[in-house]
Amino acid sequence: FSIGYYQKGVCLYEMKRYNDALTMLDLSLQYYNANVNDSNNKKFNIEKVHYHRGLCFKLLNRINEAIEQFQTAIEKNNKYAECYYERGSCLYIQGKFDDSILELNKAIALLKGFHAAYCKKGMCYYELKDYESALKNFENAIVLDNKNGRYFFFKAQCLFELKRKNDALYAF
């Protein structure tokens, strides 16, 4: 039952029905906790439920609850790079840029090619007005994914702030 409710929750999440997704994910947790020793539960990665609950809370702008869910997922699996990334994203939303950078560094350490984490880290540095560090992170993101136009846009913004206007024009 846990897996079925989880899959329904993910499907509802994909349909952008976040409150309905949370209902299914909550049921998944309830069945999991009521049947901890069930052999099917041993194959189930419960941290994924917490991760998806965190995503729903984040998209519902319930940021503190999202952070709690990502933390719980990390406690279940401290190698879950996406949770560090999402926790860093939530901290970014809260304007806690230094804390966000720490989380994003953890995500990058676990998943070297995590271009979105480099981008978000660059955005933090940009908000802190550390344009050189921001630029380095956007360039890392571009190396990993040179098809994402946002990365080039952010790079150009940094170059503009660094008074490298010709380079900025080229980057745009």
- The model's pTM is 0.92
pLDDT band at 35 (very low <50, low <70, confident <90, very high): confident
pLDDT band at 34 (very low <50, low <70, confident <90, very high): confident
Compute CA distances 119 → 10, 58, 130, whole Å. 26, 19, 14
CA distance 107 to 113: 10
Measured in residues, the chain has a length of: 172
pLDDT band at 33 (very low <50, low <70, confident <90, very high): confident
Mean pLDDT of 79-97: 98
Mean pLDDT of 149-171: 93
Do the Cβ atoms of 155 and 135 come closer than 8 Å?
yes
Residue 42, exposed/middle/buried by CB under 10 A (0-12, 13-18, 19+)? Answer: exposed
Q: Give the model confidence (pLDDT) of 5-32 as tens digits.
A: 999 999 999 999 999 999 999 999 998 8
